[in-house]
Structure 1
Amino acid sequence: MTSELLEIQPRELKFTFELKKQSSCSVQLGNRSDQYVAFKVKTTSPKKYCVRPNIGIIKPKATSEFTVTMQAQKVAPPDFLCKDKFLIQSTYVPFGTTDEEITSGMFSKESGKYIDEKKLRVVLISPPHSPVLLPNNGELKKDPSYDAALHKDIAQNGIENIPPPQRLEEDVAGCPAKDIEVLKAAKDAESRQADDKMNLESAKELVEPKLIKDFEELKSKLHLMDSKLREADHTITKLIDERSAAIREKDLLKHEVELLRRKSMKRVQVGFPLLYVCTVALISLAFGYLLHL
């Protein structure tokens, strides 16, 4: 199996940045394998971007596409640089798996499955035919020299000679060293915050499936123990019933024995034994015979 499951185009998310306007870009994913592959898209700034769809299934040698929309922003980032990142996770899934069957556990490394991860960075570009912008307290402001040059071209030629868009870094080159150091420190802090957020989300993705698995195992054990307790309770009840029945049978036998004993005693008291009667008869006959002599 190849280590790279998906072919991703492009490898950067480029957004045309304009204040208070949304911007979108599309990413195409190609399945390089002969198996079904599931993918999931995550970002360090989930409130800032909208990903549709953020999960999906790609058939063997097929392609899929998702769109990322950056919400309208009120403030431009320092130096026109963005530290936001996107993470695309992919893994093999059984043949015939559908989008509805995708779960977070599929992308958990705790399951032992191979998870391919690719990071995409965000690049902001200036809109075409836009005036040169300068950062001013976190907001983009139009360069005054641009307006002067523009009016001069209009006065001389009668048309607007709009210069091509320039990188914001060129405009910031003339800033004081102190301001540049402040901007760099702010960028570093933002980068560390983004990385920490990415690590936190990755740790959350790892911990949540483990907690769910432990909870399911505990729930299964409790269910098994409850079944065993019910079975033991049933056995105890059965034994108690059997003991009660044995006691009743014992009492009944005692009663019957007592009745038989009483009957035998009554028979002895009512008549004489046959041997006694025979002996008395013989003695009487002998005594009578002697008397006749």
Structure 2
Amino acid sequence: MSSNTLLKVQPWELKIPLKLGKQSSCCMQLTNKTDQNVAFKVKTTTPKKYFVSPKKGIVLPGSTCSVTVTMQAQKRIPSDYNCKDKFLIQSVVVNNDVSKEDINPEMFDKESGKVVEEFKLRVVHVTVNPPSPVPEEEEEEDISKSSVFLEEKAQYSSLFEDALPMILKLAEENNCAVEKNLKLRRELDLLIEERARHRKGFSFMLVVIIAILSILFGCFIKTS
């Protein structure tokens, strides 16, 4: 652990959950303690094992940058959980016109006379609590509930199979009733149309008879 004047690094150590076959992540906070722009770069002793985002950047005066460290999925878990992996954060003051893309390894070269600060962090693997086992009583209760459910399901299935022929028969009778109803409606419509035609013909004949009688009556008057 060292005392830095450029960047305040938190936490002091990286606690990464150790999960078999799964990636694990943690974060570190880099806070600029100065009134100047500070460039940083993150290194690790095992670069193939970890993914760092961002690996480099610029922290403005008084601001904080969050860096995420992701450990690749592990195929096995060491019995003692002892980890020798370490991270190194290098920082240096840069001009205001320097951007993230301008950061290069030469900026952190101490031989050039620049003040390059370094902060070292060690990696600590933390165990993940496994899910608590189901109590035997609860497990037995679940099994008994499952047995009751299966038994009830079998009873309902048997009842449905027994009632299926009657359901099909009722459906067939209903279809027959619907067809008969439609047939009766069609016959009723034909009777109504036929009656209407008869009424129309009767009215026409009545008018003709009245007209003939009127003509005959007129001729009879003239003759008189």
TM-score, normalised to structure 2, is 0.58
Partners of 2:11 and 2:42 lie apart in 1 by 15
Alignment of 1:51 onto 2:52: yes
- Structure 1 stretches of 4+ with a deviation exceeding 6 A read none
Partner of 1:138: none
Counterpart contact for 2:43–2:89, Cα < 8 Å: yes
Matched, 1:154 2:135: yes
> TM-score when scaled to structure 1?
0.45
What SS class does the counterpart of residue 80 from structure 2 fall into?
helix
Q: Relative contact order, CA 8 A, sep 6+: which one is greater?
A: 2
* Aligned counterparts of 2:79 and 2:118: Cα–Cα separation in 1: 29
Look up the match of 1:92: 93
Deviation of the 1:10 alpha carbon: 1.3
Once residues 158 and 101 of structure 1 are traced to their aligned partners in structure 2, the CA distance between those partners, rounded to angstroms, is 63
Cα distance in 1 for residues equivalent to 2:64 and 2:124 = 24
1:8 shift after superposition: 1.1
* Deviation of the 1:129 alpha carbon: 3.5
Query: Over aligned residues, Cα RMSD in angstroms?
Result: 2.0
Identical positions, percent: 52
| Letter matched to residue 135 of structure 2 | I
Query: How does 1:230-241 map onto structure 2 within 5 Å?
Result: none
Give structure 1 stretches of 5+ with no counterpart.
132-149, 160-293
Equivalenced residues, count: 138
Q: 2:135 is paired with a residue of what secondary structure? A: helix
Partner secondary structure for residue 96 of structure 2: coil
- In the aligned structure 2, how far is the partner of 1:95 from the partner of 1:19? 44
Per the alignment, residue 266 of structure 1 pairs with none
Q: Which residue of 2 aligns with 1:33?
A: 34
2:74 partner amino acid: Q
Contact 1:36 1:96 in 2 (8 A): no
Are the structure 2 counterparts of residues 21 and 32 from structure 1 closer, same or farther at C-alpha, using a change threshold of 3 Å?
same
More strand by share: 2
**Structure 1 residue 77, shift from structure 2 partner:** 2.5
Change (3 A) 1:3 1:158: closer
Matched, 1:13 2:17: no
Matches within 5 A, 1:1-293: 3-130=4-131, 154-155=135-136, 157-158=137-138
Larger helix share, 1 or 2: 1
Aligned counterparts of 1:64 and 1:7: Cα–Cα separation in 2: 10
Unaligned runs of 5+ in 2: 140-224
